[in-house]
Structure 1
Amino acid sequence: MAKTMVQQPQAVALSQWSSGIFDFYNNVPECCYSFWCLPCIACSTAKNHGECFWLPLLEFGFIPPITLSMRTSVRERYHIEGSVLNDCVYSSFCCPCVWCQMSREINIRKESVKFTNRQAK
Protein backbone atom coordinates (compact mmCIF):
# COMPACT_ATOMS: atom_id res chain seq x y z
CA MET A 1 0.00 0.00 0.00
CA ALA A 2 1.36 3.42 -0.93
CA LYS A 3 1.89 6.03 1.74
CA THR A 4 0.17 9.35 1.29
CA MET A 5 2.04 12.55 1.89
CA VAL A 6 0.45 14.62 4.59
CA GLN A 7 2.60 17.73 4.23
CA GLN A 8 4.36 19.08 1.16
CA PRO A 9 8.05 20.01 1.48
CA GLN A 10 8.49 23.73 1.98
CA ALA A 11 10.90 25.85 -0.01
CA VAL A 12 13.82 27.16 2.01
CA ALA A 13 14.24 30.92 1.97
CA LEU A 14 17.71 31.95 0.83
CA SER A 15 19.70 34.42 2.84
CA GLN A 16 22.76 36.54 2.12
CA TRP A 17 26.32 36.26 3.41
CA SER A 18 26.53 38.07 6.74
CA SER A 19 29.56 39.97 5.41
CA GLY A 20 30.89 40.72 1.96
CA ILE A 21 33.92 39.10 0.38
CA PHE A 22 36.00 42.27 0.92
CA ASP A 23 34.67 43.25 4.37
CA PHE A 24 38.06 43.21 6.05
CA TYR A 25 37.02 45.73 8.68
CA ASN A 26 34.54 43.26 10.25
CA ASN A 27 37.41 41.27 11.77
CA VAL A 28 40.79 42.82 10.98
CA PRO A 29 42.93 40.34 12.99
CA GLU A 30 41.31 37.38 11.26
CA CYS A 31 41.78 38.95 7.84
CA CYS A 32 45.44 39.66 8.56
CA TYR A 33 45.76 36.07 9.73
CA SER A 34 44.26 34.84 6.43
CA PHE A 35 46.68 36.90 4.33
CA TRP A 36 49.80 36.01 6.32
CA CYS A 37 49.01 32.40 7.16
CA LEU A 38 46.40 31.17 4.69
CA PRO A 39 46.97 27.43 5.35
CA CYS A 40 46.38 28.00 9.08
CA ILE A 41 43.04 29.77 8.71
CA ALA A 42 41.95 27.35 6.00
CA CYS A 43 42.58 24.35 8.26
CA SER A 44 40.85 25.91 11.28
CA THR A 45 37.85 26.99 9.15
CA ALA A 46 37.54 23.49 7.68
CA LYS A 47 37.58 22.02 11.19
CA ASN A 48 34.94 24.51 12.41
CA HIS A 49 32.79 23.53 9.42
CA GLY A 50 33.03 19.86 10.41
CA GLU A 51 35.54 18.77 7.78
CA CYS A 52 38.95 17.18 8.21
CA PHE A 53 41.43 19.65 9.69
CA TRP A 54 44.09 18.77 7.07
CA LEU A 55 41.79 18.90 4.03
CA PRO A 56 42.78 22.40 2.80
CA LEU A 57 46.47 21.45 2.74
CA LEU A 58 45.78 19.18 -0.23
CA GLU A 59 45.09 22.13 -2.51
CA PHE A 60 47.90 24.63 -2.10
CA GLY A 61 49.88 24.93 -5.30
CA PHE A 62 46.93 23.85 -7.46
CA ILE A 63 43.72 25.36 -8.76
CA PRO A 64 41.67 25.80 -5.59
CA PRO A 65 39.07 23.00 -5.82
CA ILE A 66 38.88 22.58 -2.05
CA THR A 67 38.26 26.29 -1.52
CA LEU A 68 35.51 26.09 -4.14
CA SER A 69 33.91 23.03 -2.57
CA MET A 70 34.13 24.47 0.95
CA ARG A 71 32.56 27.77 -0.13
CA THR A 72 29.77 25.90 -1.90
CA SER A 73 29.28 23.69 1.16
CA VAL A 74 29.04 26.69 3.52
CA ARG A 75 26.60 28.36 1.14
CA GLU A 76 24.45 25.24 0.93
CA ARG A 77 24.49 24.53 4.68
CA TYR A 78 23.36 28.04 5.61
CA HIS A 79 21.05 28.48 2.60
CA ILE A 80 22.99 31.45 1.25
CA GLU A 81 22.08 32.80 -2.14
CA GLY A 82 24.73 32.42 -4.84
CA SER A 83 26.03 30.17 -7.58
CA VAL A 84 28.88 27.77 -8.22
CA LEU A 85 30.15 30.16 -10.91
CA ASN A 86 30.54 32.98 -8.34
CA ASP A 87 32.14 30.53 -5.92
CA CYS A 88 34.60 29.46 -8.64
CA VAL A 89 35.56 33.04 -9.55
CA TYR A 90 36.08 34.11 -5.93
CA SER A 91 37.98 30.91 -5.08
CA SER A 92 40.28 31.29 -8.07
CA PHE A 93 41.12 34.98 -7.78
CA CYS A 94 40.67 35.86 -4.11
CA CYS A 95 41.41 32.75 -2.05
CA PRO A 96 42.38 34.52 1.23
CA CYS A 97 39.23 36.64 1.07
CA VAL A 98 37.08 33.54 0.57
CA TRP A 99 38.56 31.73 3.58
CA CYS A 100 38.19 34.85 5.71
CA GLN A 101 34.55 35.29 4.67
CA MET A 102 33.77 31.62 5.34
CA SER A 103 35.40 31.81 8.75
CA ARG A 104 33.36 34.92 9.67
CA GLU A 105 30.16 33.27 8.44
CA ILE A 106 30.72 30.03 10.37
CA ASN A 107 31.57 31.97 13.55
CA ILE A 108 28.50 34.19 13.24
CA ARG A 109 26.20 31.25 12.57
CA LYS A 110 27.62 29.26 15.48
CA GLU A 111 27.15 32.23 17.84
CA SER A 112 23.49 32.51 16.88
CA VAL A 113 22.78 28.94 18.06
CA LYS A 114 21.90 28.85 21.74
CA PHE A 115 21.31 25.69 23.73
CA THR A 116 19.20 25.63 26.87
CA ASN A 117 18.94 22.98 29.53
CA ARG A 118 15.38 22.62 30.70
CA GLN A 119 14.63 20.50 33.70
CA ALA A 120 11.46 18.44 33.86
CA LYS A 121 8.96 19.54 36.48
Structure 2
Amino acid sequence: MQQVVVNQQVTVALATQWRSGLCSCCDDVEICCCAFWCFPCFQCKTVSDFGECLCLPLIECHNLDLLVSTAMRAAVRERYHIQGSICNDCCTICCCYICIWCQMGREIKYRKSHMSTTTVQTTTVQPQHYPYR
Protein backbone atom coordinates (compact mmCIF):
# COMPACT_ATOMS: atom_id res chain seq x y z
CA MET A 1 0.00 0.00 0.00
CA GLN A 2 1.27 3.42 -0.89
CA GLN A 3 1.43 6.06 1.83
CA VAL A 4 0.36 9.59 1.10
CA VAL A 5 2.14 12.38 2.94
CA VAL A 6 0.30 15.66 3.34
CA ASN A 7 2.09 18.82 4.40
CA GLN A 8 0.08 21.74 5.69
CA GLN A 9 1.43 25.22 5.87
CA VAL A 10 -0.01 27.48 8.55
CA THR A 11 0.11 31.22 8.02
CA VAL A 12 -0.09 33.46 11.05
CA ALA A 13 -1.05 37.05 10.36
CA LEU A 14 0.83 39.57 12.45
CA ALA A 15 -1.03 42.48 13.96
CA THR A 16 -0.64 45.70 12.00
CA GLN A 17 -1.54 49.35 12.37
CA TRP A 18 -4.19 51.37 10.55
CA ARG A 19 -2.92 52.40 7.10
CA SER A 20 -3.82 56.03 7.77
CA GLY A 21 -4.10 58.13 10.87
CA LEU A 22 -7.31 59.05 12.61
CA CYS A 23 -7.03 62.70 11.53
CA SER A 24 -5.81 61.94 8.00
CA CYS A 25 -9.19 62.73 6.48
CA CYS A 26 -7.67 64.63 3.55
CA ASP A 27 -5.58 61.62 2.48
CA ASP A 28 -8.59 60.54 0.43
CA VAL A 29 -10.59 63.53 -0.79
CA GLU A 30 -13.45 61.38 -2.11
CA ILE A 31 -14.05 59.78 1.29
CA CYS A 32 -13.63 63.12 3.07
CA CYS A 33 -16.17 64.89 0.86
CA CYS A 34 -18.67 62.03 0.99
CA ALA A 35 -18.48 61.94 4.79
CA PHE A 36 -18.77 65.72 5.04
CA TRP A 37 -21.69 66.22 2.64
CA CYS A 38 -23.75 63.11 3.36
CA PHE A 39 -22.48 61.21 6.38
CA PRO A 40 -25.35 58.64 6.56
CA CYS A 41 -24.78 57.75 2.88
CA PHE A 42 -21.05 57.44 3.57
CA GLN A 43 -21.70 55.11 6.52
CA CYS A 44 -23.95 52.88 4.40
CA LYS A 45 -21.36 52.75 1.61
CA THR A 46 -18.56 51.91 4.04
CA VAL A 47 -20.56 49.11 5.65
CA SER A 48 -21.57 47.79 2.23
CA ASP A 49 -17.96 47.87 0.97
CA PHE A 50 -17.01 45.84 4.04
CA GLY A 51 -19.61 43.22 3.11
CA GLU A 52 -22.15 43.92 5.83
CA CYS A 53 -25.82 44.85 5.56
CA LEU A 54 -26.26 48.23 3.90
CA CYS A 55 -28.88 49.25 6.50
CA LEU A 56 -26.66 48.60 9.54
CA PRO A 57 -25.81 52.30 10.12
CA LEU A 58 -29.51 53.18 10.10
CA ILE A 59 -29.80 51.47 13.50
CA GLU A 60 -27.73 54.33 14.87
CA CYS A 61 -30.75 56.61 14.54
CA HIS A 62 -32.14 54.84 17.60
CA ASN A 63 -29.37 55.86 20.02
CA LEU A 64 -27.29 52.77 19.37
CA ASP A 65 -24.55 54.69 17.59
CA LEU A 66 -21.80 53.67 19.97
CA LEU A 67 -22.70 49.98 19.70
CA VAL A 68 -22.89 49.82 15.92
CA SER A 69 -19.76 51.90 15.36
CA THR A 70 -17.81 49.94 17.97
CA ALA A 71 -18.90 46.63 16.47
CA MET A 72 -18.00 47.81 12.97
CA ARG A 73 -14.59 49.11 14.02
CA ALA A 74 -13.85 45.89 15.92
CA ALA A 75 -14.86 43.84 12.86
CA VAL A 76 -12.57 45.88 10.60
CA ARG A 77 -9.69 45.47 13.07
CA GLU A 78 -10.28 41.74 13.34
CA ARG A 79 -10.55 41.09 9.60
CA TYR A 80 -7.43 43.09 8.76
CA HIS A 81 -5.46 42.09 11.90
CA ILE A 82 -5.12 45.65 13.18
CA GLN A 83 -3.94 46.20 16.74
CA GLY A 84 -6.35 47.73 19.20
CA SER A 85 -9.02 46.98 21.76
CA ILE A 86 -12.74 47.50 22.29
CA CYS A 87 -11.97 49.98 25.08
CA ASN A 88 -9.75 52.03 22.77
CA ASP A 89 -12.42 51.87 20.05
CA CYS A 90 -15.11 53.19 22.42
CA CYS A 91 -12.95 56.10 23.58
CA THR A 92 -11.98 56.98 20.02
CA ILE A 93 -15.58 56.83 18.81
CA CYS A 94 -16.73 59.15 21.61
CA CYS A 95 -14.08 61.74 20.74
CA CYS A 96 -13.74 61.51 16.96
CA TYR A 97 -16.93 59.93 15.60
CA ILE A 98 -16.73 61.06 11.97
CA CYS A 99 -12.95 60.59 11.86
CA ILE A 100 -13.18 56.90 12.81
CA TRP A 101 -15.68 56.28 10.03
CA CYS A 102 -13.38 58.03 7.54
CA GLN A 103 -10.45 55.95 8.80
CA MET A 104 -12.45 52.73 8.40
CA GLY A 105 -13.53 53.82 4.91
CA ARG A 106 -9.92 54.47 3.86
CA GLU A 107 -8.77 51.15 5.33
CA ILE A 108 -11.50 49.15 3.59
CA LYS A 109 -10.87 50.95 0.29
CA TYR A 110 -7.12 50.29 0.56
CA ARG A 111 -7.53 46.63 1.49
CA LYS A 112 -10.04 46.00 -1.30
CA SER A 113 -7.74 47.57 -3.89
CA HIS A 114 -4.74 45.55 -2.67
CA MET A 115 -6.57 42.29 -2.16
CA SER A 116 -4.75 39.33 -3.64
CA THR A 117 -6.46 36.23 -4.86
CA THR A 118 -4.98 32.80 -4.56
CA THR A 119 -6.07 29.89 -6.66
CA VAL A 120 -5.86 26.58 -4.90
CA GLN A 121 -6.14 23.33 -6.77
CA THR A 122 -6.74 20.20 -4.76
CA THR A 123 -5.92 16.76 -6.00
CA THR A 124 -7.07 13.52 -4.49
CA VAL A 125 -4.61 10.66 -4.69
CA GLN A 126 -6.10 7.21 -4.48
CA PRO A 127 -3.79 4.55 -3.08
CA GLN A 128 -3.15 1.86 -5.65
CA HIS A 129 -3.62 -1.72 -4.60
CA TYR A 130 -1.41 -4.32 -6.20
CA PRO A 131 -2.43 -7.94 -6.15
CA TYR A 132 -0.21 -10.16 -4.09
CA ARG A 133 1.66 -12.84 -5.99
Alpha-carbon deviation of 1:83? 1.1
Question: How do 1:42-121 residues align onto structure 2 when only pairs under 5 Å count?
Answer: 42-60=43-61, 62=63, 63-115=65-117
Following the alignment from structure 1 to structure 2, what is the Cα–Cα distance between the partners of residues 76 and 29?
Answer: 25
Identity of aligned residues (%): 44
Query: Which protein has the larger Cα radius of gyration, Structure 1 or Structure 2?
Result: 2
Q: For the structure 1 residues 61 and 95, does the alpha-carbon distance in structure 2 shift closer, same or farther, using more than 3 Å as the test? A: farther
Alignment RMSD (CA, Å): 2.4
Aligned match of 1:3 = none
Query: How high is the TM-score relative to the length of structure 2?
Result: 0.74
Give deviations 1:35-72, integer Å, cap 9, x for gaps: 33111111011111111001101113524211110000
Code of the residue aligned with 2:92 in structure 1: it is Y
d(CA) in 2 for partners of 1:9 and 1:109?
22
Structure-2 separation of matches of 1:114 and 1:77: 15
List runs of 5+ in structure 1 lacking aligned partners. Answer: 1-5
> Is the Cα contact below 8 Å between 1:15 and 1:80 reproduced in 2?
yes
TM-score with structure 1 setting the length? 0.81
**In the alignment, which residue of structure 2 is the partner of 1:26?**
27
Structure 1 CA distance, aligned partners of 2:9 and 2:34? 46
